[in-house]
């Protein structure tokens, strides 16, 4: 089964595929081990910053190895790319999907820029899924003090079903990530208020798969309701980073004399695995 097959199944069963970002070997190792254990499909996300740090081609080869050698249902997504040169590089490297993010632009500009990315990807390999972003929800998987300026946080600001339909028809994207009350990162003391009605309306208006970005920090019941309303992919990153950092800090404090990286970092792998396994259980 390819990624689209799993997404079709998610729609039919009202479940969601988990999308987990990585920026180091611990994250990749954690995903591989969870895949072995649960046999659940997982999308590995690589943002532009993460890709520049780890290497687009290098990560792509690792994922291909897991697919071909171990037959794992693991897929690779270029997450929030806005540079067409990097989009082309990810396409040539054999990524399964690419999210081109022009959500900071007007709807008209977003359509124009996303269409250019779609045409570029399809010219090389029409099997690669392409996602567009609708509605600004902040940038970066970080812990925030406040809601990002300009973020879509109430229904009056959210993209309408008609606009989503227009976007999909004019760009030809396979997936869309709408701003429906979600925010990238975790905002201290803030409870994200997802609009399940708007999710359902957008799902009814377009055949594209719906993606929930910024799910870190969103309560489990809300995530489940969002999936029931039509979300088929859920993105998690900030919680993974926190799990990695907290486990590493404790590991260093507990063993100050240890200098073997694989020993110091082992608890971080387990911490990341615990988050991923919990989320997969929530996603169904």
Is residue 79 among the annotated active site residues?
yes
In this structure, are residues 67 and 257 in contact, taking their beta carbons and an 8 Å threshold? Answer: no
Q: CA 33, CA 44: separation in Å to the nearest integer? A: 13
Beta bridge partners of 129: 97
Distances (CA, A) of 208 to 28, 40, 55, 270: 28, 22, 29, 35
Q: CA 131, CA 100: separation in Å to the nearest integer? A: 6
Q: CA 182, CA 213: separation in Å to the nearest integer? A: 7
Of the candidates 57, 79, 174, 221, the residue annotated as catalytic is 79
- With H, G, I as helix, E, B as strand and everything else as coil, classify residue 228: helix
Q: Which one, of 49, 103, 100, 41, lies nearest residue 76 by Cα?
A: 41
How many other C-beta atoms are found inside a 10 Å radius of the C-beta of residue 281? 12
Host H or E run for residue 94: none
Give catalytic residues, as residue numbers.
79
């Amino acid at each position: 089964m390819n990624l689209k097959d799993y997404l079709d199944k998610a729609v039919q069963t009202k479940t969601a595929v988990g999308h987990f970002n990585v920026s180091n070997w611990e994250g990749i190792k954690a995903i591989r081990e969870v895949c072995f254990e649960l046999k659940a499909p997982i999308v590995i996300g690589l943002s532009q910053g993460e890709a520049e740090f780890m290497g687009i081609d290098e990560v792509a080869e690792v994922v291909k190895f897991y697919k071909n050698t171990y037959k794992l249902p693991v897929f690779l997504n270029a997450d929030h790319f806005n540079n067409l040169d990097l989009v082309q590089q990810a396409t040539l490297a054999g990524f399964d999907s690419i999210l081109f993010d022009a959500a900071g632009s007007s709807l008209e500009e977003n359509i124009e820029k996303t269409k250019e990315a779609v045409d570029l990807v399809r010219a090389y390999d029409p099997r690669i899924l392409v996602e567009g972003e609708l509605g600004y929800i902040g940038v970066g998987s970080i812990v925030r003090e406040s809601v990002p300026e300009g973020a879509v946080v109430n229904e009056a600001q959210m993209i309408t079903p008609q606009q989503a339909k227009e976007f999909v028809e004019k760009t030809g994207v396979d997936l869309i990530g709408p701003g429906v009350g979600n925010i990238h990162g975790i905002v201290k003391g803030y409870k994200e208020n997802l609009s399940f009605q708007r999710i359902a309306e957008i799902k009814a208006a377009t055949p594209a798969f719906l993606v929930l970005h910024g799910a870190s920090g969103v309560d489990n019941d809300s995530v489940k309701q969002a999936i029931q309303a039509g979300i088929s992919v859920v993105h998690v990153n900030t919680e993974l980073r926190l799990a990695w950092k907290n486990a590493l800090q404790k590991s260093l404090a507990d063993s100050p004399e240890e200098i073997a990286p694989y020993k110091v970092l082992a608890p971080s792998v387990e911490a990341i695995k615990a988050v991923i396994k919990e989320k997969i259980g929530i996603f169904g």
